Chains A and B, each alone.
Chain A
Amino acid sequence: MSVLIYAENQNGKFPKSALEAVSYGAEVAAMMGTDAIAITCGSINGDGGLGNAGASNVWVANAPTSDSQLMGKLIVAAAAKANANVIIFSHDVAGKMVAPRVAARLDAGLVPGATALPGADFVVRKNVFSGKAIADVAIHTTNKVITVLPNSLGVKNTGATAAVEAFAFDAGASRITVKEVKSENKDGEIPLPEAELVVSAGRGMKGPEHWGPIEELAKILGATTACSRPVSDIGWRPHHEHVGQTGVTIRPNLYIAVGISGAIQHLAGVNGSKIIVVINKDPEAPFFKAADYGIVGDAFEVLPKIIEAAKAFKAAH
């Protein structure tokens, strides 16, 4: 018996979401009195830090990560070798792609987007209704699959190093051909779902040419930029920046919303944020009800003051 975790390797580096999944798996393994085995693809440096996140072993395989079917086969083969009946993924792109295939193959109940460790009888907490409510979901099957919501539980560092070995796997031919990979994020910018700091703006900015202060504040703070749905719909900002019920769901430590009224659909995508700052010239904007800090005022007068203070703060820290 053991717990198997799939850790997504992004060009030799493990994103925080992968470390969080490993850490979650290690805690489940500790609860069950067993080991946490991580499996990954591609080349890694040492144990890639997965031992520090709680894995006792790291298996490195060669498989096409763009093909959910072959990746599913890989994870099922690794689970058989590890004698694992609990399999953990991050609730990221890879998890959404591969975890359901593994669950269907192993006839396993799957809880997607867990926000807490399993309780007694394997009841797992997750967000539902786009973050407007919480559900406790019981898994009834012997085999269990869980995907862990990024930015929910953090990583418990153990200081340990994992044993690394190759995992022999013959993937076979893929039915999916990758033609092109386009990177959306500017160099060094953290993708929205993983971002701890987010500066976001909406129609209150009056036009795409006025985004300068938003980008400047984000740059000073090391934050990722986001926007509301109307702004991405009219093409002021790219679609991948749209946070909300039908866009990206985020859970940063800090969410600064400028010129966004706070429609219920927008709140659904951001209400997992730990601290919310709302800047809006309309004191009746519904977003203030969900905010921790609010500034009623014109964005073009307020932002320069905040930018100046942020520059001074960064210079001093």
Chain B
Amino acid sequence: MKILVCISKAPDTTSKIAFTDGGSKFDENGVQFIVNPYDEWYALVRALELKETIGGTVTILSVGGTDYEPIIRKALAIGADEAVRIDAAESDSLYVAKQIAAYANGKGFDIIFCGKETINFNGSIVPGMVAELLDLPFVSLANKLNVNGNTATIEREVAGGEEVIEVNTPFVVSAAKGMAEQRIPNMRGIMAARTKPLEVVPAAAAEAATSVKSYSLPPAKSGCKYIDAENAGSLIQLLHEEAKAI
């Protein structure tokens, strides 16, 4: 089985979010970057589990500059076989999807894995766009995936519940919680990752369809009003009369 896993770079979940240049740029000062958790914990780990049980290769694909290489090496340390970096700024979802589709087209990947969304843009749209550009089925928000021959059985989130579907390879899937458990790379993996192939390919011609004009921070809360624990029942009255929440 030939598997492609698309990974994105994201600020660590504990990062302080701030902006520079008049709110036009994310302040990377002191920020630790990680593999986007959905891409790593669920998409990549499930891809590796499939490879371990049925054989095949796992290729990592990222769209980004040289600053992406540490997180690509991390993905290789966890167990991917090889990596490709498309040398382009990840400016817009459609632009990124076009880069991924241009690379993957004709390469015979059986499954293209993505995380369900990035924790910095929260779009959840690149995988569906890749599927459309490659004329492939797309299974969104999947939390279980098993493969038998060329048929995959997938459990995914639907409105108010879950749905079990079957789809034949090739297809695109976005992975959500439940798909796999996080893996910590061991020393052998980290050493091996240094010599695994990382190919850099030039960007395909495409235009960004959207751009961020400015960033801002949400308004701060005005402060917490404390209620004495002995008098906890008065909360209900406050929620009704003051907060108008019930």
Contact = CB atoms under 8 A, between A and B. Distances in A.
Nearest to B172: A68
A141 B95 CA distance: 12
A17 B195 CA distance: 49
Interface stretch (B52-60, B64-72, B132-140): B132-140
A275 B93 CA distance: 33
Contacts of B153: 179
A134 B159 contact: no
Given A10-B160, A309-B233, A96 B128 contact: yes
A176 B139 CA distance: 9
B79 interface: no
Given A302-B229, A313-B236, A180 B164 contact: yes
B227 A137 contact: no
Contact of B224 (A197, A274, A291, A303): A291
A157 interface: no
Contacts of A126: 122
Interface in A90-146: 91-94, 96-101, 103-105, 107-113, 123, 126-141
A185 interface: yes
B188 interface: no
Interface in A203-226: 221
B32 to A, nearest CB: 13
B67 to A, nearest CB: 18
A278 B163 CA distance: 35
Given A98-B128, A104-B97, A278 B224 contact: yes
A292 interface: yes
B232 A275 contact: no
Interface string B125-145: 111111111000111110100
Nearest to B95: A109
A301 B230 CA distance: 9
B220 to A, nearest CB: 9
B128 A129 contact: no
Nearest to B18: A133
A66 interface: yes
A68 B161 contact: no
What is the size category of the interface that chain A forms with chain B? 35 or more
Interface in A239-254: 239-240, 242, 245-247, 249, 253-254
A52 interface: no
A96 B159 CA distance: 12
Given A15-B159, A133-B17, A182-B161, A112 B167 contact: no
B89 interface: no
B213 interface: yes
Nearest to A98: B128
Contacts of B218: 131-134, 271
Interface in B75-97: 92-94, 97
Interface in A250-291: 253-254, 264-265, 268, 271, 274-279, 288-291
B88 to A, nearest CB: 17
Main DSSP-derived SS at the B contact region: mixed
B129 to A, nearest CB: 4
| Interface SS of chain A | mixed
Interface string B191-211: 000000000000000011111
A101 B131 contact: yes
B59 to A, nearest CB: 22
B159 A100 contact: no
A306 B236 contact: yes
A8 B129 CA distance: 20
Given A111-B210, A112-B122, A138-B211, A133 B217 contact: yes
A135 B214 contact: yes
Given A175-B168, A288-B224, A302-B229, A141 B209 contact: yes
B24 to A, nearest CB: 10
A311 to B, nearest CB: 9
B137 A176 contact: yes
Contacts of B13: 245-246, 264-265, 268
A25 interface: no
Contacts of A278: 224
Nearest to A73: B132
B33 interface: no
Given A138-B211, A180-B163, 14 more contacts: A68-B128, A97-B141, A105-B132, A107-B209, A109-B209, A110-B125, A133-B17, A176-B166, A181-B158, A239-B143, A246-B37, A246-B177, A264-B14, A309-B234
- Smallest CB-CB A-B distances: 10 pairs: A297-B229, A100-B128, A309-B233, A109-B209, A104-B132, A100-B125, A254-B245, A104-B129, A109-B210, A101-B132
14 contacts: A10-B159, A100-B131, A104-B94, A134-B216, A134-B218, A135-B212, A179-B153, A181-B163, A183-B160, A249-B122, A268-B13, A295-B229, A295-B235, A309-B232
Interface of A: 8, 10, 15, 66-69, 72, 91-94, 96-101, 103-105, 107-113, 123, 126-141, 175-185, 191, 197, 221, 239-240, 242, 245-247, 249, 253-254, 264-265, 268, 271, 274-279, 288-298, 301-303, 305-306, 308-310, 312-313, 317
